[in-house]
Amino acid sequence: MEINFLAVVAAAFSALVVGFIWYNPKVFGSAWMKEANMTEEKMNGANMAKIFVMAFIFAVLLAMSLMSMTIHQMGAFSLAQGELGLLPSYEAFMNDYANEFRTFKHGAFHGIIGGIFIALPILGTNALFERKSAKYILINSGYWIVTMGVMGAIICGWR
């Protein structure tokens, strides 16, 4: 089982594209700015190159972690890496099941589930302690649920 770096990069890039759309003032950008107490002055004073480079690096890390959530064969591969090494039974298993559940639809499903059960609780907990509104939680976690769905689709379906 190999890491498809092109799929990882595409999935990471998709996070920036979804963010560009999601946080556009005509979509959720204006509402997010209000709920986050963000102003144009704060945004203009930021080093956007650094922000986008770091956001991309974080998205690469997320895309790599989504591989184990969306590609079920990763579990078999991790089991085969123990003290016994790759046994003939692993090769037989991969010959039979290497492409099972390797679709964009399946990856999107698991990405969305990951967004709901991982991103939402993390962002929601932080927002509660930061005294942010439910709207703030829904905007930001909604972004990650959609983004993880898109990323999961790319990671799982791209072969």
- Which pLDDT value is given to residue 1? 58
What are the residue ranges in the chain where pLDDT is below 70? 1-2, 82-85
Q: Work out the end-to-end distance of the chain between its first and last CA atoms, rounded to an integer number of angstroms.
A: 11
> What pLDDT digit, counting tens, does each position of 80-103 carry?
776 666 777 778 888 888 788 889
- Which pLDDT value is given to residue 84? 64
Residues 6+ apart with CB under 8 A from 150: 11, 14, 15, 18, 108, 111
Residues 6+ apart with CB under 8 A from 41: none
Angle at 129 between CA 126 and CA 130, to 5 degrees: 80
| CA 36 to mean position of chain CA atoms | 22
> What pLDDT digit, counting tens, does each position of 8-20 carry?
999 999 999 999 9
Token pair 């704060």 in the structure block, residue? 42
